[in-house]
Structure formats: structure tokens, C-alpha cells
Chain A
Amino acid sequence: MSEEQRPRRIDCDIHVGVPAMAVLLPYMTDYWREQFVSRGIDNMELASYPPKSPLACRPDWREQGAKPGSSLEAVRSHVFDGLAVDLAICSALYGGQVAMSEYMGAALCSAVNDWVRDEWLEKEPRLRASIMVPAQNPQLAAKEIDRCAEDRRFVQVLLLAANELMLGRSYYWPIYEAAQRHGLPIGIHAGSMYRYPTTPAGWPSHYLQDYASAPQVFSAQLQSLISEGVFGKFPNLTFVLMESGVAWITPYMWRATKTWRGIRGEIPWVTRPPSAEVRERVRLTLQPFDGPDRGEQVERLIEQIGSDDVILFSSDYPHWQFDGADPIPPGFPAGMVDKIAWENPLNTYGRLRESLQ
């Protein structure tokens, strides 16, 4: 197949791994460098992704002794070559996003953003990145967005799915104001600050259950963003739900729309049904899909979502969501692959188009 014929793909969710705190020290102030060194804080992996858990890295992508996603060579060979990807948006899920101290959180997020720029974006022109922000302090988060946004290779702002408050609350609006001002979508990625039990009925016993419950908090956050009026307040902001599982969205749309019809007087500023907000303002990354594997059922799922603009191609590398060389789930309509892998990402991430000119 010639270069022109090859399908073009933008992978909207891959992860680069911070190998250890040591790589971030050069990007910290003297105070924070001393703090991390003298207190012996060597690593701050998220509880949402224990590095040795099977989910954190697909077995054939795991490199002995290395943190998942920490090698540029591995990303080149597994993602760009192995999955035939042309551009990829990477996120480094690490320490700062979940820190108990908002100042430590801000210091770590800044260090991660600078490290991603120097070690990944500078070295691999096919990579773009998410801006990590300390949602614990939305003012500091907005400052970090302003600082990083000058570099047009940062294409979105990243938040975790479970925080200290519901994401629709006005507390977080400075983050949305900054993101909208810079033309950056808000990516909400699976993962938790672990401030509350991982389910509304308490703590389960297993990591497996924590991870299985992710769609619960995504649907709660979507309902919060809608109910608090965020979509109306920030009319140019897109929300990308990353690694949420895709197929939960239709039951959510049915339920939320039915409830809205019954009690919308409680939230009079929400003037159209949740299903309409999803179609226009919400995007979902492809992996994990959690959808059917039969062609006609997948087509029906997409019909029921009611728009082919909503899904964005992603592999979720190096997380173990699928096997083999193709992140496109079995049964996915071949005619839609270009749409989700190329057009939809370009329409979602305004900054990606610049790199094509």
C-alpha cells in the first residue's frame, strides 16, 4: 500500500510513564527538589494504575525492569509502527494530579509537563501532549494552563475522573475558562484522587472492581457538567471522556434524558436534553470499547449514540485493553474508521490541524 492510500490515524489516548521522581527533579525549584530528596519520596504512581497490574501494560508491550510506557523507543515501535499511527496524544498520569497538598500537586504537574516537553515532544515530532494540572487548586491549574498553552504541541487539558468535588461545580470553572480561552478541550481521564470510596456504596475488595466502576463516575461527572450548566457557560469547550468505556453512553443518554424531562425545572438553565449535549459537546476515546462485537450491533450502537462525530480513535497504550495490532474492535464498521481516526480527532483538537499545514 502506498503512503497516500494508507489510512491515517491519530491515537487520542496513549500514556508515557514517568520512570522515577529523579527525572522530574531538574524541573523543580530548589525547595521542592530538597523536599522530594530529603523526604525520600522516590515515586508517586497512581493507585488507579498499579504499574505491575496486568491492566497497566499489555504483556507483549512490557519491558523487563521498565515502567510501562517509559521508553521512547518502545512507543515508536509499539504505537507508531505497531499500530500504524501517524500522530498520538500522550498523557503522563502521575503524582501531582492526586497530591493531597495543592502546592506539591502544582510543583509536580509543572515538572511533568516540562519533562514531557523535553523528553517526548522534542524528541518525537509525531507526539502531542495533555497538560497535567493540579485540580486541587483551580487557580494554580489555570496558571499552569496559561504557562503550557504557549507551546502548541500541548493540545488539551487533562483532569482525572474522580476528584475532590464534582467537576461541574463552579469551583472548577477557572480551569474551564482558561481551557476555552486557549482553544483546548478538557480531557477527563479514568483515574481517581481516591478521596472517596470508588463506589457510592463504599470500597470494594479488589482493584478489578475499582477499575470496573469507572463508567459510574464518568456518567456522574457528565451529569454534573450538564446539571451545573457548564455547557451553557462555556459554549466553545469540548469534553473528551478518555478510557471511560464507550458503550455505557447510550444507557446514560436514555436515563438522563428521561429524568431531565421529568424534573428539568430544578435546573432551568439546561434547555436541551442531555442526549443533545453528548452529541455536540462530548467525545469518547475508543479503548476500552465495552461494546458488542457483531457488526450490525456495533452499527446500531453508533446509530443510538445518534452521531458519528462522538468516538475518537485510541489504543490506550500501554494499558491492556485489546490484543493484536488493531485497536479497532471486532465488528466496527470499516467505513467509519477514517472518520474516528482522522476527521473526528482533527475536529476535536483544534491544534492538531496546524501541524498538517
Chain B
Amino acid sequence: MTSTTLERTTAPAAVGAGIVDCDIHPSPRQGGASLKPYMPRQWHDHMDQYGDPHNGPYASVYGFPRYMPGTARRDAWPENGGPPGSDLDLMRSQHLDRNNVALGILEPLGFGTTARNVEYGAVMCAAINEWQIDEFVDREPRLRASIVVPQEDSAASVAEINRRGPDRSYAQIELPSLTLEPLGRRRYWPIFEAAASFGLPIGIHVGGPTGARTASGWPSYYNEEHLSLVATMQTHLTSLVLEGVCEHFPDLRFIMIEGGIAWSISLRRRLDRLWRTMGNETPHVRRPPSEYMAESFYFSTQPVEEPETPAALTEIFEQVGWDRVLYASDYPHWDYDDPNYAFRGALPDAQANRVMRDNALGLYRLPHGARAPGEA
């Protein structure tokens, strides 16, 4: 084994005007109770009595128990008693200020999208969407919200997108990766149509409610479940290209968040080869899959690949395309990528600027009249 000691890199130093972080997780201070003010009264009892059942064996904890409380850094628990990600001041001091974050995209997890009862899910999504604005975006101009939708009910999702879409406090639509069906299936197309109408990108974040984690059933360990999330990303990328979503919505952009990057290189070759031999099954896919991938998809860095030689990471970014890679921290989670230490070996200055900031600025819409970070 070669040494795996992390070395300080020059990447953030090259980004004097601030970085963009595509993956920050906010949490309600009192869990679901914090969302009640945003929910019709009739659903309060439902939340208390039935909650938001996951498709898993336990009533209130995840089927694959995480390896640390709250899936979080142990130093990210606020002194005031809320969960990690619930205290804006701590988020500022631990991450936004410390790492010169000029723009951070909030990715709330686990509220609304995981509900098997989509009616309840729609209420929860609406609540978490408003809550993000009140608790974070209105108080911290460096943060933007995500529109969370009950993705298995496309009509309710479209209604929620139409309600939030005009507000430029929202930077993207967020979907979970453990959906009932691959995201290219027709049931999800109304969501894409609504997204395209507002020029909002779709962020697909690993995790979510449903299903056996592999084509061979359920694994035993978090160590396996963690890896299976990569497969969900491969599924959606494949599906969005081959079901014709990229062809039909050429301006829509997808951000693959927290699912890794390097695998997309061999998958790209595999899809191109299979398209050449069996593309007659998908005649609506007019060009080689790699061409759609290069236009429609972005990949966030965390948890960044750690090849044994640092140069290999640069080569991965090079092959995926320097214009396709977006820095993400995953704050406050345990596998947080500190921008000062995450990348083994320095990224070239010009490319570091793209990964740490510029690519994201070209992708997310900014508030009207707002200047991009670093803009004079």
C-alpha cells in the first residue's frame, strides 16, 4: 500500500473570491416538530402518530444504522441541543466562514421524499421548502434552497415546483436517488418539464425511501449499503439518457450529488458500445450516450475518489471533463470533504477555480441582480 496521508493542497487558495459548495445539509432544530408551523393542522396528529415510515424494518431509525450519531461529524452537534446542521451560526463558523464559501446549496434530506403516503409527503415537502427560506436563506445570503418534491406523485410535484419556481431563493429541484423507478421513466417527465420551464437544474442526491439495495436483494452492512448508493446514480444516469429524457429536454441539467465520479468513465464507454449494438431498442436516443452525458450531467466531488496515486484524481477529472465537476462538502456529515484536505494532490489553478466555483456559477440560477461571487 502507498501512503494515504492527506496532504494540504493549493486548491482553495487558488479561489480567492470564495468557493461554491453544492451539498450542505440543513436540519430542523426539533425534527419534524419544527415543521408543524408550516403544515395544515390536520397533519400534525398524523406526524405524531404515524410519522414518515421508511421502507425499512425499524419505526424510527434507519435499517442500516449509521456508524456515527446523526451520520454526522462528532464536532458538528450544536451546544443548544439541536441536531447537526440545525444551527446557522455553527454552520457559519465551522464551514461557511472558515472555508470562504461564497455560495452554498442546501440539500435537506429525509422529509417528504421518503413518505410512502404521497399526500403526507407533499405536505412535508411544502413545509421543508418554506422552512429552508425562513431559517437559512433569509438569514444568510450565501445560502440557496432546493425545491424538494414528493417525486412519486408527479402532479403534486409539479404543483410544488410551480409554487416555488418563481422565487430565486431556490437554486434547484432536489430528487432522492432511491426512487420507486429509474428517473427516466415517463412518470417523472412532468417534473422535468416543470423544471425546464423555470430553468432549474435537477440535483439528484443519494439516498431515499425505497427498495432492495441491489438486484440480488438486501445487503447486511452499512459498508455495503453505502456502496449501493453509487449504483442508484448509475441507474439514473443510464435511465435519463436511454429513456430519452436528455434528448427531449436538451437544456435540462442534472447534478449527481454524493455518488462519486470515476465510474462514469467506464459506464460511458459501456453505454456507447451497447448503443452501437442494440440502439435499435431505443431509437429515440439519436446520438451516442456519451454525448448526452457530456452536455446534461454534472458530478459533485464528495466523497471524492482517492486513487493510490494523486495524479490519478486529476486524470479522472480530466476524463470526465473539468467543466462537469462541482465541489461539495456534505457538511455536517461524517464523510465531510474539507476543501483544504479533500483532494489528494493539488489541482491545477485554472481547473481548481472551475471545480471550486465557476462551473457551479454557470449552472445554478442566482437571484436577479445578484453578483456572482468574485465578480467586480
Contacts and interface: CB of A to CB of B under 8 A. Distances in A.
Interface residues of A, number: 73
Contact of B227 (A198, A215, A220, A265): A220
A255 B182 contact: no
A55 B183 contact: no
Interface string B169-203: 00000000111111111000000000000000000
Contacts of A204: 182, 184-185, 235, 238-239, 242-243
Contacts, number: 241
A217 B181 contact: no
Contacts of A195: 216-217
A266 B222 contact: yes
Interface string B230-250: 111011101100110000000
Interface in B270-304: 270-271, 273-275, 277-282, 303
B56 interface: no
B226 interface: yes
A90 B369 CA distance: 67
Contacts of A356: none
Given A202-B180, A208-B278, A166 B220 contact: yes
A23 interface: no
Nearest to A221: B216
A202 B238 CA distance: 13
A314 to B, nearest CB: 16
A201 B177 contact: yes
Interface in A160-200: 161-169, 192, 195-200
A307 interface: no
B349 interface: no
A290 B266 contact: yes
> By CB atoms of chain B within 10 A, which of A163, A204, A267, A321 has the most?
A204
Given A195-B217, A258-B306, A267-B223, A202 B270 contact: no
B215 A254 contact: no
A255 B300 CA distance: 15
Contact of A166 (B183, B214, B274): B214
Given A201-B239, A251-B262, 14 more contacts: A200-B178, A200-B213, A202-B185, A206-B281, A209-B242, A223-B223, A224-B216, A224-B219, A227-B221, A251-B266, A258-B306, A260-B223, A267-B221, A290-B269
25 contacts: A55-B278, A163-B216, A165-B216, A166-B217, A199-B182, A201-B182, A201-B210, A202-B182, A204-B184, A208-B282, A215-B270, A219-B231, A221-B216, A223-B219, A223-B224, A224-B216, A224-B220, A224-B224, A255-B303, A259-B226, A262-B67, A263-B223, A290-B269, A292-B269, A300-B315
Interface of A: 53-55, 161-169, 192, 195-209, 211-213, 215-217, 219-221, 223-224, 227-228, 245, 247-248, 250-252, 254-267, 273, 275-276, 288, 290-292, 300, 304, 306, 320-321
Q: Which 8 residue pairs are nearest across A and B when measured between Cβ atoms?
A: A247-B266, A216-B231, A251-B262, A202-B181, A199-B235, A220-B214, A162-B215, A251-B263
